[in-house]
Structures are given as structure tokens and as C-alpha cells.
Amino acid sequence: MRRPTTTMATSDEDRQTIEAILKGETDRYSELVKKYQRFVYYMALRMLRNSEDADEVTQKAFLKAYRALGGFRFESSFKTWLTTIALNLCRSEWMRTKRETVELPPNLADPGDEARREQEDAEHHKAYLGKLLERLPPRQREVVTLRIYQELPFKEIATLLKSNETAVKVNFHHAMVSLKEWTRKRRDEI
């Protein structure tokens, strides 16, 4: 189910919360954390594929946003601004560690245990898709993650990536072509 397209402006609720924080009601920042924490965490998890790293990026993103809140100019939504911060932290973390993937062992499930075999197949498929995403150039990987997993509209992705909507759509298209081709080749090998 697709979420409705969000506006790019900061909501009145977020604006009031931010203004209150800037006036000294710093405990109100927890309202923004509660509202956006899951979104940022899952975006980071999709990008980094490691829950500990995603948790660390989420914490750093909220801390960095808090420290820079005085510079927030309400030109975009708070969510977009926060996601940009988190995305930049993900890029830094990914570049720092250059994620290494681990090969999964062959399916060792008992042939009679259908449910267990299906779960292992699903986990193997998920790991395979993650490996395919890692093969994409960084910009394409970011666009796919934000579009498919975070369900953001192309316009908001363009804002986050400081690009234009057409370029984002082109990156998404090229990523999908590559993913389909790699998947087709694997299917042909089986």
C-alpha cells in the first residue's frame, strides 16, 4: 500500500515543536525522536544492512540534528532535513567500513521440514537481494532504498539527494534494469 505523497514543508506540529525547543523547551525534542526514529532507523538498516550500525547512525543523526536545530530554516520538512543528515552518516559509515558480505552456507534443512526450508530460502533470497543492492553504484543504491523500502516519492528523494527529480528517476530506472539483469542471469545459471 502506497503512502500518500507528503508535502515538502514542515508540518505545523513539527514547526511548533521546533520553535518550542529553540525557546528552551529542550525536553520536547523527544517528540521528534519518537515521531521519526523508526523511519530513520529502517532507512539506515536498509542502507547498511547491520542493526548495530543502523542504531548508531540513528542516534548520531538525531544528535547532529539537535545540535544544528538552530540552523534549520523550515525550507523543507523536518523529516527531509533529518533524513538528509542520516543519509550522509550512512554514506560515511558505508565508505568507512566497505561492507563485506558473508556467503551463506548451502541449505541444510531436512527435506521433510518444509516450513524450515521455506524460511531458510526466504533468508537466502533476502541476503541475495542485499548483495545485489551492494553491487549498485552508491547513488542508485540510495535511490532504490529510499523509493522501495522507505516509499518516498521521487520529488522528496531528489530533495534529499540534492538532485532533480528526472535524475532520480533515471538512477532508479538504471538500478532496476541492472537488478533485473543480474536476477535473470542467476536464474539462467540455476
pLDDT score for 130: 75
Question: What is the C-alpha to C-alpha distance for residues 156 and 170, in angstroms, rounded to an integer?
Answer: 15
In this structure, what C-alpha cell is assigned to residue 23? Answer: 525557546
Give buried/exposed letters for 44-69 (b at 16+ CB in 10 A, else e): bbbbbbeeebbeebbebbbeebeeeb
The CATH number of the domain holding residue 71 is: 1.10.1740.10
The CATH number of the domain holding residue 161 is: 1.10.10.10
- Residue 6, Cα to own-chain centre: how many angstroms? 17
Q: Look up the pTM and report it.
A: 0.60
pLDDT score for 103: 43
Q: Is position 86 within any domain? A: yes
Q: Is position 94 within any domain? A: yes
- Both ends of the chain: CA-CA distance in Å? 33
Q: Which of these ranges, 16-20, 58-62, 137-141, 167-171, has the smallest mean pLDDT? A: 137-141
pLDDT score for 126: 65
Last residue of a domain, one of 70, 99, 128: 99
- pLDDT tens column, 51-93: 999 999 999 999 999 999 999 988 888 998 999 999 989 888 8
- pLDDT tens column, 132-153: 888 889 899 889 888 887 888 9
Sole residue written with cell 548451502: 106
Indicate if 89 and 142 belong to the same structural domain.
no
Domain count for the chain = 2
Identify the residue with better confidence: 43 or 10.
43
Question: What is the C-alpha to C-alpha distance for residues 181 and 121, in angstroms, rounded to an integer?
Answer: 21
Angle at which helix 78-97 crosses helix 12-22, to 10 degrees, equals: 80
